């Protein structure tokens, strides 16, 4: 990540790398189908991310299955099964631990 410091960015502010690091490139196009479904959804949904969340989730799940993304419960990244089901109990507990 040494190249991150080489770019001054605008007004001398240094860019900060993404939280979870880099997405490996999908050279074999393993998740192209899920990507296309998401992009097609955006086109029909006025580009509203909210409407196409199911497809975003599927794409990220594909990446995880093909080892193109570290495996993680997508509920933690904002993709819940339904509004009723909430992982708040589990994650709140974890935050409580970290605050100690």
**Residue 28: how many CB atoms within 10 A of its CB?**
9
Count CA within 13 A, CB hemisphere, residue 61: 13
Under the binding rule (CB under 8 A), the answer on residue 64 touching other proteins is no
- Interface positions, 28-47, toward other proteins (CB under 8 A): 29, 32, 35, 38-39, 42-43, 46-47
The DSSP call for residue 36 is H
Size of residue set near other proteins by CB under 8 A: 51
Under the binding rule (CB under 8 A), the answer on residue 54 touching other proteins is no
* Cα of 51 vs its chain's centroid, Å: 16
Under the binding rule (CB under 8 A), the answer on residue 49 touching other proteins is yes
The phi and psi torsions of 53 (rounded to 5 degrees) equal: -60, -35
Q: Which two tokens stand for residue 25?
A: 């490139």
List residues near other proteins by CB under 8 A.
1, 3-4, 7, 9-11, 13, 15-23, 25-27, 29, 32, 35, 38-39, 42-43, 46-50, 53, 56, 59-60, 63, 69, 76-79, 86-88, 91-92, 94-95, 98-99
């Amino acid at each position: 990540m040494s190249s991150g410091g080489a770019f001054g960015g605008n007004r001398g502010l240094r860019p900060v790398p993404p939280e979870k690091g880099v997405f490996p490139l999908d050279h074999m196009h393993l998740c192209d189908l899920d990507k296309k479904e998401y992009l097609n959804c955006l086109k029909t949904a006025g580009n509203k991310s909210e409407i196409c969340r199911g497809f975003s989730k599927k794409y990220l799940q594909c990446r995880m299955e093909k080892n193109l993304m570290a495996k993680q419960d997508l509920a933690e990244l904002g993709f819940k099964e339904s509004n009723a089901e909430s992982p708040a109990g589990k994650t709140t507990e974890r935050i409580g631990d970290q605050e100690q």
